A and B are shown apart, each in its own frame.
Chain A
Amino acid sequence: MRQELTQLGGGAHALATQILGNADDAADAVHDAFETVLRRPQAYDSSKGPLKPWFLRVVRNRCLDMIRRRRPSAMPVEELVDPGTTPEEALGADQRRTAIKQALAMIPAEQREIIVLRDYLDLPYAQIADVLGVAQGTVMSRLHRSRLALKEALDNDGQ
């Protein structure tokens, strides 16, 4: 289980960063999730599905707890963007990656997380529904709206 969790760390951190808007807080959230899971590994029932969506749900819940505890004004979404790099400085793929990060920072956290779950972590709709605690039928429409919002943010950013 430890090995599997280690492999899931990067993806979980990407998700937590998009929810919390801060890479350091996200690392704390993933660390807390590791501790929770390793303290009670029996809480995971492999007969109910793979570890990945289950662990991502634990991480997401931890992130939501952290958001509840802090003041709403303390959401430094700007930290999602690397401040040292401007689009002019970056080239080719790097430029596109920077643009994606900037555009993600412009859309709501709810939309960011579903995009990360599908397009970055490659989870099927059924597992996304499981992680987010929504009906499977909701996933496609929410994801589509989120993608359109991201596309619009990218287009606006490019102008």
Chain B
Amino acid sequence: MVSKTQAIDEHVGELLSGYIDGELTQQQRQRVEIHCGNCGDCESELNALRALRRDVSNSRLSEYGEDVWREKMDDRTVKATRSIGWLLFLGAVLICGGVGIYEFVFDSSMGTFEKTMIGAVYGGLALLFFSVLRQRLIERKTDKYKDVEI
């Protein structure tokens, strides 16, 4: 229990901060309330500290949004693993493709006409694929809304 005389006479100082932060015991809170009810100086300091806390809380001390941090986190580890993954994938595709083409070209059981026709079908498909891929890559590079999250 707080003595009323003590609560009124002694300034509460740092307890004001504890009070606005909700970090005081019930006894301490009671002391602050009794004191501020009788001391204009401490009451106005309490209000000023409250306003200050609100202002700091509403201020914007960092201009970096979550997307920046996501990007920064992706920076090294993810980029490195992605690069290695792509390297392995493309390397394997190129080797398999090369071996396939070599065997197809030097396959003696197939005539030149058949080879040309089959080659034209696969070559046409590959050209169409690269054309679409190229277009998508150009669009992706120049799309100014690519970072917008929906």
Is B72 a contact of A34 with CB atoms below 8 Å? yes
Whether the Cβ atoms of B73 and A119 lie closer than 8 Å is no
A53 to B76, CA, bound (A): 25
In the assembled complex, which residues on chain B have CB atoms less than 8 Å from the CB atom of A31?
72, 75
Smallest CB gap from A10: residue in B: B62
Number of interface residues of A (CB under 8 A): 43
B49 to A: closest C-beta gap in Å:
6
B40 at the interface (CB under 8 A from A): no
Residues of B close to A120: CB separation below 8 A: 56-57, 59, 61
For A96, give its contact among B23, B49, B55 (CB under 8 Å).
B55
Contact A34 B73 (CB under 8 A): yes
Question: Is residue B64 contacting chain A, with contact meaning CB distance below 8 A?
Answer: yes
Q: Which residues of B contact A118 (CB under 8 A)?
A: 21, 53
Whether A106 is near chain B, meaning CB under 8 Å from some CB there, is no
Contacts of A23 in B (CB 8 A): 62-63
B59 and A140: CB pair below 8 A?
A: no
Report the Cα distance A32→B59, complex, angstroms: 25
A42 / chain B contacts, CB cutoff of 8 Å: none
CB contact under 8 A between A6 and B16, given known A17-B61, A101-B61? no
CA separation between A118 and B61, bound complex, in Å? 13
Whether the Cβ atoms of B56 and A119 lie closer than 8 Å is yes
* Given A6-B69, A97-B59, A144:B17 Cβ within 8 A: yes
* B16 / chain A contacts, CB cutoff of 8 Å: 144
Contacts of B13 in A (CB 8 A): 144
A116 within 8 A of B: yes
Residues of chain A within 8 A of B14, CB atoms compared: 140-141, 143-145
B76 close to A35 (CB less than 8 A): yes
Q: Indicate if the CB atoms of A10 and B64 lie closer than 8 Å.
A: yes
Within 8 A of B (CB), among A1-55: 2, 5-7, 9-11, 13-14, 17-18, 23, 26-27, 30-31, 34-35, 38-39
B49 with A116: CB separation less than 8 A? no
12 contacts between A and B (CB under 8 A): A6-B70, A9-B64, A10-B62, A18-B61, A30-B69, A96-B58, A100-B56, A104-B61, A116-B61, A124-B23, A140-B17, A151-B49
9 A-B pairs with the lowest CB-CB distances in the bound complex, closest first: A9-B69, A14-B61, A144-B14, A119-B56, A144-B17, A13-B62, A14-B62, A97-B59, A100-B59
Interface residues of A (CB under 8 A from B): 2, 5-7, 9-11, 13-14, 17-18, 23, 26-27, 30-31, 34-35, 38-39, 93, 96-97, 100-101, 104, 115-116, 118-120, 122, 124-125, 140-141, 143-145, 147, 150-151, 154
